[in-house]
């Protein structure tokens, strides 16, 4: 049975008086007021845009040069919506109605579930942006100790990538900011967290398809193409229990979204999301990433004393986690225009020291706060009642 849904797309755009900037921001909902998360929103011809957050909100900056360009919104399960920026700004009613794009794929597929996964992985180089391109990334990491967030660090960085069929070749940190320091353990990573983002992506490391038991758990669509949702359960090459969920284009074998739950041998769990969106040539590149890695640390005498002083019971181990959230807010494909400013290095995010520029953070396309972001910041602020903006001001 065909079910029609109405997607209300609410956008308020205004001009910023400086730098000839236009703010494009809004909220994406269906007719039942459910949020539409991780939708691709932007101007494809200029590689401008962002993704909606987990509440369907989005924000990005354009200029008067984009007034005649097309604003495009696409999300798994809905028809792609297009309108010129100029026409959109002229609308009195900023509500745009979209219908659900109903999928009519038969339950009987031409190929086996395993074959679809094999073809999708084999086709990565063709379906994704595999030539060197520079991603403008907002990387956020929260350090959790004893089940509460105690430290936050955020980097705006440029990353030279070749897509999930290859590896990140270089990155440079343009700006950083961090919260106040409330950690006991102060665990550091050996390299920048973006390298772990790369390493944890099974598409980059290779998937042993036969080691999983695959089943179709649903169908959907994306940008006019039917999508098969396949789930695989099994072991990875290191013997870790892992569940993979892949959203694969029926005709193109493109992987539009990947969700993974992993129980490593040396940690309690890991939950991962990778979302990809199209450029103007239809090639996919990373749009959004989210993961949480849970583990534990042995309590030393120093940590034991700190726990006691803070009114907590001493124990042998303390639960820990790293929570990550990544927004790609731009992509540059012209090598001549790559931004090589900033610093680089293989070390923990907290060790990169750059003079804090408050105006920089006020003038970039910061995405709306996600539920994930709000939860972590709320935990951090609850420790001593200090707002995160105040922590930014005095800790940087």
Same domain, 46 and 185: no
Share of the chain above pLDDT 90, in %: 48
Q: Is the dihedral of CA 187, 189, 193, 198 positive or negative?
A: negative
pLDDT at 285: 95
Same domain, 95 and 131: no
- Enter the pTM of the model: 0.85
Domain stops at, among 48, 71, 99? 99
**Tell me, what CATH number does 66's domain have?**
2.60.40
* In-domain check, residue 185: yes
* In-domain check, residue 108: no
Same domain, 137 and 192: yes
pLDDT at 17: 37
Same domain, 11 and 122: no
Average pLDDT for 275-279: 93
Same domain, 195 and 324: yes
C-alpha closest to that of 229 among 250, 204, 201: 250
Collapsing DSSP to helix, strand or coil, 346 comes out as: coil
pLDDT tops 60 at residue 390:
yes
* In-domain check, residue 382: yes
Asked if 292 and 322 touch (Cβ cutoff 8 Å), the reply is yes
Same domain, 132 and 51: no
Q: Is 151 exposed, middle or buried (0-12, 13-18, 19+ CB in 10 A)?
A: buried
pLDDT tops 80 at residue 141:
yes
Quick: pLDDT tens for 52-77.
888 888 888 888 899 899 988 888 88
Helices 388-395 + 371-382 axis angle, to 10 = 70
* In-domain check, residue 288: yes
Over its C-alpha atoms, the chain yields an Rg (Å, rounded) of: 22
Pairwise CA distance, residues 227 & 103, whole Å: 8
Decide which of 355 and 232 is more confident.
232
pLDDT tops 60 at residue 107:
no
Domain that includes residue 23, residue range = 6-99
Task: Please report which confidence band the pLDDT of residue 93 belongs to, taking 50, 70 and 90 as the band edges.
Answer: low
* In-domain check, residue 107: no
CB atoms inside a 10 Å sphere around CB 216: 15
pLDDT at 12: 39
Among 65-79, 156-170, 182-196, where is mean pLDDT lowest?
65-79
pLDDT at 267: 57
The tally of domains found in the chain comes to 2
Task: Please report which confidence band the pLDDT of residue 95 belongs to, taking 50, 70 and 90 as the band edges.
Answer: low
* In-domain check, residue 1: no
Any idea what DSSP says for residue 32? T
pLDDT at 154: 97
pLDDT tops 60 at residue 252:
yes
**Strand 255-263 versus strand 170-178 pairing type:** unpaired
Same domain, 229 and 291: yes
Same domain, 292 and 145: yes
* In-domain check, residue 104: no
Same domain, 93 and 176: no
CB atoms inside a 10 Å sphere around CB 15: 12
pLDDT at 235: 76
Quick: pLDDT tens for 295-312.
888 878 777 777 777 777
Pairwise CA distance, residues 338 & 158, whole Å: 8
Q: Whole-number mean pLDDT of the chain? A: 85
pLDDT tops 60 at residue 15:
no
Among 11-15, 46-50, 156-160, 164-168, where is mean pLDDT lowest?
11-15
């Amino acid at each position: 049975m065909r079910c029609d849904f109405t997607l209300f797309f609410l956008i308020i755009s205004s001009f910023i008086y400086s730098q000839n900037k236009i703010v494009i921001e809004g909220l994406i909902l269906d007719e039942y007021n459910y949020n539409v998360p991780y939708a691709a929103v932007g101007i494809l011809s200029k590689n401008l845009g962002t993704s909606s957050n987990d509440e369907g909100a989005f924000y990005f900056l354009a200029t008067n040069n984009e007034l005649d360009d097309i604003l495009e919104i696409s999300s798994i399960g809905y028809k792609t919506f297009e309108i010129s920026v100029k026409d959109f700004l002229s609308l009195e009613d900023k509500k745009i109605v979209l219908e659900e794009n109903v999928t009519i794929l038969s339950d009987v597929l031409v190929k086996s579930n395993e074959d679809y996964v094999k073809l999708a992985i084999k086709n990565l180089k063709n379906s994704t942006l595999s030539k060197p391109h520079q991603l403008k990334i907002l990387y956020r990491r929260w350090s959790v100790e004893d089940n509460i967030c105690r430290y936050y660090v955020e980097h705006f960085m440029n990353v030279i990538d070749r897509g999930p069929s290859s590896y990140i070749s270089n990155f440079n940190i343009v700006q950083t900011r961090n919260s106040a320091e409330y950690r006991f353990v102060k665990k550091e990573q050996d390299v920048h967290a973006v390298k772990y983002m790369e390493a944890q992506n099974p598409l980059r490391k290779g998937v042993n398809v036969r080691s999983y038991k695959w089943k179709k758990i649903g169908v959907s669509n994306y940008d006019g193409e039917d999508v098969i949702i396949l789930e695989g359960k099994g072991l990875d090459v290191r013997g870790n229990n892992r569940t993979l969920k892949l959203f694969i284009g029926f005709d193109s074998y493109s992987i539009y979204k990947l969700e993974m739950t992993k129980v490593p041998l040396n940690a309690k769990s890991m939950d991962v999301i990778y979302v990809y969106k199209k450029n103007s040539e239809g090639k996919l590149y990373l749009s959004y990433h989210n993961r949480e890695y849970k583990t534990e640390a042995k309590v030393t005498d120093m940590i034991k004393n700190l726990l006691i002083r803070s009114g907590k019971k001493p124990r042998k181990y303390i639960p820990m986690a790293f929570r990550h959230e990544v927004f790609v807010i731009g992509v540059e494909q012209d090598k001549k225009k790559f931004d090589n400013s900033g610093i680089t290095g293989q070390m923990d995010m907290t060790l990169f020291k750059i003079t804090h520029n408050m105006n920089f953070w006020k003038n970039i396309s910061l995405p709306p706060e996600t539920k994930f972001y709000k939860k972590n910041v709320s935990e951090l602020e609850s420790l001593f009642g200090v707002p995160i903006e105040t922590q930014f001001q005095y800790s940087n």
